[in-house]
Every structure is written in structure tokens, then in C-alpha cells.
Amino acid sequence: MNRHILGLTLLLACAGGATLLPATPTRAEGAQVKCDLSYKLEGWSLLYKHAEGSGTITCNNGQRANVKITLVGGGLTAGKYRIDNGKGEISKVHGIADVYGDYVQAGAEAGVVKSGTVQLLTKGTTSLALSGTGEGVNLGISVGKFSINER
């Protein structure tokens, strides 16, 4: 047995009694929460891309919040669009506070009259998978920032 481990064992034994140390992280530290986003978004692009909307986040731990959504970016894009029934799945969070902030967005858009979107965005280790359908005309590729803030 390693003498450092043996010394620690003897020190704990001499301290008078048993001390239980957790072998794994506590439940609160390791808990993963799943959050869903329902949203509406309306925007336009002509080299510069801008969209605003609102939504509701609901988490499986009972937390819920109304949010404001903004999307800004640029690229080779042109169009005007609206997403009415957007859905998002947010993973790798420990609570609703981890959802807020800026996500990196990159995408290719193509649609006339009825348009759709499917994107995977990231913010550190947090992932946001978006999908939605709506109306408009949009064409191009872009990069930008998708922000979720408290409303």
C-alpha cells in the first residue's frame, strides 16, 4: 500500500470514527436537465441577417420561462421569413440559467413561400437543436449569433 494512502488511512482512523467520503459526484452536480424551446421568429437578410422573436422554455425539472430571441449575422443571404411553430431541444444543462446567452449559428437557407429550418447551435458544451417551418423567401449561407434572454 502506498505510504501516503496508508498515512491518510491512519490519520482518519486516529481522528476518532468513520468518515464517509462520496465516491461519486453528488446528484446535484451530475444532474442533466432537458429543456425545450417553443418559439416564433421573424426576420430578413440582405448580406446582413436580423431576426427577432419570442418563446417559452420548459425544463423537465419544472423550471419555465418566457424568453426573447434575437439572431444577427452576415453572409451571402437575401430574403424575408417568418417561423411560426419553431421547436428547440436544449441539452447538457443543469438548469434554466444555463440556457441563456449567445449560441454560434451557421446555416444554409433555401425556401420560397413555405420555408423550413433545421440547425444545431452551440454555446460551450450546451447544444441547441432548432427546427421550424414558416413562410417567406430566403436564400443563402450565413454565420451569426442566436441569443436567448429573459423576457
**30-45 residue pLDDT tens:** 568 999 999 999 999 9
Q: How far apart are alpha carbons 33 and 43 in whole angstroms? A: 30
User: What is the domain extent for residue 99?
Assistant: 31-150
* Three-state DSSP state, 30: helix
Would residue 47 count as lying in a domain? Answer: yes
pLDDT at 18: 35
- In CATH, what number is assigned to the domain containing residue 114? 2.40.128
Of 140, 133, 92, 131, nearest in space to 114 by CA:
133
What is the pTM for the complete model shown? 0.74
Determine the 3-state secondary structure of 21 from DSSP: coil
CA-based diameter of the chain, in Å? 77
Tell me whether residue 56 is in a domain.
yes
